[in-house]
């Protein structure tokens, strides 16, 4: 159930309405509390007559509160309508999946909450105002607070305009997504080597002894609780191998895992340890966070946009991500209990991450020499911080692919000479950094 709880908390955190709704409730409760304070007679007369509090009559109070309520709800509707239109245009350049950065942005949520909370506060206070003919009650403290909230909304509006102008800037979007990548790397990598499978393949068993576990659910695997599933497998004396990893789509009626030997209750244990949803999430899926960044570059390289500078900015962040990965270990997907393998999960390896970073950009940049040059420069820079020969071999493979595409697609001999020079610089950096042998125990696991 821990996976389902994490999914629930993650879904709640992604909701745009949560903070505004909490602020609206707070505004209503504040209005009720201040109205009771005004009715209690605890506010001294000298304070009411002072310039710090509203001291007008009931008619003026109603006019003031009506102006606050109508202006805040009107401004909120207009501003957010214009913002959605601007974001729709920006989505065509940067990708619709990046709109979630707007919905989960606390600044945007606070702005909407401030306007709505002030509107609700003004309505609650307005209903309590009475003129002389109705019994004469003017909540002076509540009215003063409503004026203060109106000024807060003015300041919030100024903040929001500047905030949104920066948020739809492509450089800001790239930096926000790269922060997601950096956070995912910190969460999903390890300082110490991870358990590896024994030399003998535990799945070299007769096929009749391996049982498939079928799942009738559908959706992306958003949350997984491997510790709980490994504990269950250890208690039952079986070994499970999941066929999907976080971020993979689970098709209904297809096997989600294999098990040997067969034990009753495996399907229920897997259901309890996994949570599915309609979209991928970056909290447990490193590849998805990277693909969001790559999508910005691929769209920038499309003929309709043709913005190589954006693609180069993305490549810089991808290179920084590889440097963040250099000193750490990726998950192996192997769970051991008392030295025995009890759970195997498909794991993201360095090859897969590098392929996800560079393949699509390289394939869409065959006509942009500047982007191909930057790929080689980024790969050269990464070799300066990467110590594992296997990982450096992956970087070399991508450098060779860039040069091969250039040899085939680039017709200008001057551009081709620049690309060959950058590739030679990569080779020189690789050889300079990795001539000395490195012990296997010093290498990060892939």
Query: What Å distances lie between residue 142 and 72, 104, 155, CA to CA?
Result: 17, 32, 20
Single out the residue of 86, 69, 71, 162 nearest to residue 121, CA to CA: 69
Q: Are 378 and 315 in contact (CB under 8 A)?
A: yes
The pLDDT, as a whole number, for residue 442 is 41
Single out the residue of 32, 271, 263, 39 nearest to residue 137, CA to CA: 39
User: What size, in residues, is the chain?
Assistant: 446
- 3-state per-residue secondary structure call for the chain: CHHHHHHHHHHHHHCCCHHHHHHHHHHHHHHHHHHHHHHHCCCCHHHHHCCCCCCCCHHHHHHHHHHHHHHHHHHHHHHHHHHHHHHHHHHHHHCHHHHHHHHCCHHHHHHHHHHHHHHHHHHHHHCCCECHHHCCECCHHHHHHHHHHHHHHHHHHHHHHHHHHHHCCHHHHHHHHHHHHHHHHHHHEECCCCCCCCCCCCCCCCHHHCEEEEECCCEEEEEECHHHHHHHHHHHCCEEEECCCCCCEECCCEEEEEEECCCCCHHHHHHHHEEEECCCCCCCCHHHHHHHHHHHHHHHCCCCCCCHHHHHHHHHHHHHHHHHHCCCEECCCEEEECCEEEEECCCCCHHHHHHHHHHHHHHHCCCCHHHHHHHHHHHHHHHCCCCCHHHHHHHHHHHHHHHHHHHHHCCCHHHHHHHHHHHHHHHHHHHHHHCCCCCHHHCCCC
Longest dimension (CA), the chain: 95
Burial, 272: exposed, middle or buried (Cβ in 10 Å; 0-12, 13-18, 19+)? middle
Q: Are 24 and 117 in contact (CB under 8 A)?
A: yes
The pLDDT, as a whole number, for residue 86 is 72
Contact residues for 393 (Cβ-Cβ < 8 A; gap 6+): none
Q: Which residues pair with 276 in a beta bridge?
A: 221
Q: Chunked in runs of 10, what are the mean pLDDT values of the chain (446 residues)?
A: 73 80 95 92 80 84 93 89 75 67 81 94 93 82 93 94 81 86 89 72 62 91 91 91 92 92 89 90 83 89 87 95 93 87 90 94 90 96 90 94 91 90 92 57 41
Q: Which residues pair with 137 in a beta bridge?
A: 130
Which residue carries 């003929």 as its tokens?
303
The token pair at 24 is: 């609206």
Q: Are 213 and 232 in contact (CB under 8 A)?
A: no
C-alpha torsion angle, residues 85, 88, 89, 93 (rounded to 10): 160
The pLDDT, as a whole number, for residue 443 is 42
Provide the terminal-to-terminal Cα distance of the chain, rounded to the nearest Å: 30
Which residue carries 């450096």 as its tokens?
392
**β-pairing, 249-250 with 274-277?**
unpaired
The pLDDT, as a whole number, for residue 201 is 61
* Angle (deg, nearest 10), helices 286-300 and 58-94: 80
The pLDDT, as a whole number, for residue 441 is 39
């Amino acid at each position: 159930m821990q996976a389902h709880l994490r999914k629930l908390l993650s879904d709640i955190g992604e909701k745009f309405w949560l903070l505004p709704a909490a602020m609206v409730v707070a505004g209503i409760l504040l209005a009720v509390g201040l109205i009771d304070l005004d009715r209690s007679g605890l506010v001294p007369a000298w304070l009411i007559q002072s310039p710090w509090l509203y001291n007008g009559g009931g008619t003026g109070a109603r006019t003031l509160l009506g102006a606050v309520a109508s202006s805040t709800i009107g401004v909120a509707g207009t501003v957010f309508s214009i913002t959605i239109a601007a974001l729709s245009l920006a989505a065509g350049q940067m990708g619709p999946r990046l709109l979630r950065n707007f919905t989960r942005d606390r600044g945007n949520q606070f702005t909407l909450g401030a306007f709505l909370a002030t509107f609700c506060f003004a309505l609650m206070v307005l209903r309590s105002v009475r003129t002389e003919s109705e019994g004469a009650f003017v909540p002076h403290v509540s009215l003063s607070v409503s004026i203060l909230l109106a000024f807060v909304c003015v300041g919030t509006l100024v903040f929001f305009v500047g905030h949104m102008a920066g948020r739809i800037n492509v450089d800001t979007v790239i930096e926000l997504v790269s922060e997601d990548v950096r956070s995912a790397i910190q969460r999903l990598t390890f300082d110490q080597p991870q358990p590896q499978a024994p030399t003998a393949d535990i799945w070299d068993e007769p096929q009749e002894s391996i049982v498939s576990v079928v799942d009738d659910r559908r959706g992306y695997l958003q949350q997984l609780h491997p510790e709980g599933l490994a504990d269950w497998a250890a208690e039952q004396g079986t070994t499970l191998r999941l066929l999907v990893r976080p971020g993979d789509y689970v098709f209904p009626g297809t096997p989600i895992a294999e098990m040997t030997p067969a034990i009753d209750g495996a399907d229920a244990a897997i259901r309890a340890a996994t949570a599915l949803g309609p979209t991928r999430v970056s909290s447990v899926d490193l590849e998805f966070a990277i693909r969001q960044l790559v999508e910005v570059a691929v769209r920038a390289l499309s003929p309709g946009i043709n913005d190589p500078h954006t693609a180069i900015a993305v490549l810089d962040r991808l290179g920084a991500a590889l440097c963040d990965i250099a000193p750490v270990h990726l998950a192996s997907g192997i769970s051991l209990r008392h030295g025995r393998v009890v759970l195997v999960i498909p794991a993201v390896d360095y090859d897969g991450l590098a392929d996800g970073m560079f393949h699509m950009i390289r394939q869409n940049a065959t006509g942009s020499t500047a982007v191909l040059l930057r790929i080689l420069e980024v790969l050269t820079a990464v070799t300066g911080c990467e110590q594992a020969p296997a990982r450096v071999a992956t970087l070399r493979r991508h450098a060779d692919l860039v040069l091969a595409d250039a040899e085939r697609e680039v017709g200008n001999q001057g551009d081709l000479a620049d690309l060959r020079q950058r590739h030679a610089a990569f080779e020189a950096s690789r050889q300079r950094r990795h001539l000395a042998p490195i012990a296997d125990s010093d290498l990060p696991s892939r």
